[in-house]
Structure 1
Amino acid sequence: MIKVYNRKNKCYEIEDVAGEKYLNWLYSSTVGMSLLELLIKRKLFSKIYGMFCESKISKKKIYNFVKDFNIDTKNCKKSIEEFENFNDFFVRELTPEIRPIDKNKNHFISPGDGRITVYTNINLQNLVQIKGFNYSFSELINNKDLEKQYNKGTCILLRLCPTDYHRFHFIDSGICSSTNKVKGNYYSVNPIALKKINKLFCQNKREWSVFHSSNFSDILYVEVGATCVGSIIQTYKPNNKVEKGEEKGFFKFGGSTIILFLKNNVLKIDKDILKQSSLGFETKVLMGEKIGEKY
């Protein structure tokens, strides 16, 4: 059972987890963990499942998925009949009015839909994955120059569920560097897995880039893949000017995570998110909504 804070209703909700029984078995039983290490975490498994999700046969999966998780397809640019396969639906685009962008240049917005946890005054040698599990910046991104910049800064974790809108966006206007790719495994990023796999973010496939933000200095974007996420697709043009809210890329099928690093004394995170993070709860957010403001 995963409890998430709904900041709009000011209450806690129980998250509907896609494949919850399967995840519990896979990450808790001896047989499940053996299967995980032998096959599920491997690129081959995610690649094969990705091929299925790209096939016309997988279109049948859309209707049950929408029904089981009560997804409002009226917000999509395409009708449910227009999607060619499950991955086409999974990376669906939404109508702009559904995700309004807070245009105030001093407001920091969420880069995507998901569940957010924030850590401030971070120690880069002891970053929190989940309570009891830690990792270091150098294990996540082996770059000494970047490491110096973000010590005692802010770390934002945005976890995307399979049911979420899976495109991610720029939090400000600016220019983004080219993407660096790091090969890795394909563990789930669900809290069920985070409690079992040490240094999971450092083991999974990931991509990173530096965003030269107009109002929040240089921000390190890290996109982490997960089980069945065969591809992280970057749609932006490196070293070109982008506007706040513009699309950066998207994840194909599966849950995923975005990690943002900001320098010290750049960002003040909203108090409700900080409070829930300190209590060990994620806060549900939507792409484009304010989650903090400029110092």
Structure 2
Amino acid sequence: MKFEKIKYRDRKTGEIKEEKVPGEDYLKFLYYKPFGKLALESLVKRKFLSSLYGRMMNKKKSCEKIPIFVQENNINMKESVKNIEEFQSFNDFFIRKLRKGARTISENTEELSSPADGKILAYENIDKKDQFFLKGSKFSLGEFLRDDKLAHKFQGGTFVIVRLAPSDYHRFHFPASGSISDSKKIEGYYYSVSTHAIKKNFMIFCENKREYSILDTKEFGEILLSEIGATMVGGIRQTYIPETHVQKGDEKGYFYFGGSTCIMLFEKGKVKIDKDIVENTLQGVETKVYMGEKIGSSVKLSH
């Protein structure tokens, strides 16, 4: 398979843009070269490497990386609660909180919000997702959830992927209001979740470290919310209180250093994802979204 630059559509302007990927040559080597694959399987996917890098990003010395990272990735620090000088480590910067009003949460309860800043793909039927990924790349909900009964509940439902790049805001939030369960952890590897890697192997979602919880909502039924670990992600931290009622836009948790992914699963016939997102997905193009932005509606509202 040919290596191609990651392209996405800017939702506000409609333009197709090329994503600037930190370490892109490294990803090209790991996922598209024979010797790279050897390194990937023997070293990179293992927990200790990501944990080691995560610890390095917790040290005070790692603050030296912040100004360069901000400049190279055009990060708007006016949105951040803290100034650059106030961060105690690179990870402290990476999990920065945003000022009130930096993101707009849709107030309409029948509208679904993006849980995070990132690039989105959406499949209205999880069984038909190979327009973007390799044909024949089998994805099993049972393997992903390690629970066949739960997998059956979401079979034929809507599958939404929000991919966070390293330069994105790395806290994730609730896409709707409802009652939230505890988070179930599933141990796994630490493959990259970059589009470069996922295009080669969609099963990464079933192989990587991940967590999931169920948000029981009035408007969308039960939504399965899953967070996926990845190469150089030092950890997934849930900050919500389980078995409570949460509001749309409330913080659910955050990822430590590295790009990662939020996945949402909906029962069949419960949500209508916005047309532009679905059409872009069918064309093999991700759409840039921001936390709180409308990405869909309840079936009731869309009729």
Match of residue 190, structure 1, among 189, 194, 205? 194
Q: Alpha carbons of 1:67 and 1:270: their partners in 2 closer, same or farther (altered >3 Å)?
A: same
Q: What's the CA shift for 1:49?
A: 0.3
Structure 1 unpaired stretches of 5+:
none
Identify which range, 146-155 or 285-294, moves more after superposition.
146-155
TM-score scaled by length of structure 2: 0.94
Q: How many residues get paired?
A: 293
Query: 2:171 matched to which residue of 1?
Result: 167
Contact 2:229 2:235 survives alignment (8 Å): yes
Distance in 2 separating the partners of 1:240 and 1:205: 25
Distance in 1 separating the partners of 2:61 and 2:76: 22
Q: What's the CA shift for 1:121?
A: 2.6
Q: Which amino acid aligns with 2:197?
A: A
Query: 1:111 matched to which residue of 2?
Result: 115
Distance in 2 separating the partners of 1:67 and 1:127: 36
Aligned 1:6-85 pairs, distance under 5 A: 6-85=10-89
Match of residue 97, structure 1, among 89, 96, 101? 101
Q: Which amino acid aligns with 1:277?
A: T
Question: Deviation string for 1:61-117 (max 9, x for gaps)?
Answer: 111111111111111000010011100011111112111100101111100000000
Query: 1:216 matched to which residue of 2?
Result: 220
Indicate the RMSD between aligned Cα atoms, in angstroms.
1.3
Contact 2:95 2:255 survives alignment (8 Å): yes
SS at structure 2 position matched to 1:138: helix
TM-score scaled by length of structure 1: 0.96
Q: What's the CA shift for 1:127?
A: 5.4
Structure 2 unpaired stretches of 5+:
none
Question: Deviation string for 1:188-219 (max 9, x for gaps)?
Answer: 10111113335111110000111112321110
Query: 1:205 matched to which residue of 2?
Result: 209
Contact 1:157 1:259 survives alignment (8 Å): yes
The answer to whether the aligner puts 1:130 opposite 2:122 as a matched pair is no
Contact 1:172 1:214 survives alignment (8 Å): no
SS at structure 2 position matched to 1:258: strand
Question: Deviation string for 1:135-174 (max 9, x for gaps)?
Answer: 1101101212212221221110111100100110001111
Of all paired residues, the percent bearing the same amino acid is 45
Match of residue 7, structure 2, among 3, 6, 9? 3
Where in structure 1 do 4 or more consecutive aligned residues deviate above 6 Å? none
The answer to whether the aligner puts 1:226 opposite 2:230 as a matched pair is yes
Distance in 2 separating the partners of 1:150 and 1:251: 26
Distance in 2 separating the partners of 1:183 and 1:176: 21
Q: Which amino acid aligns with 1:67?
A: Q
Query: 1:274 matched to which residue of 2?
Result: 278
Question: Deviation string for 1:205-259 (max 9, x for gaps)?
Answer: 0001111123211101111100011210000000011111000000001111111
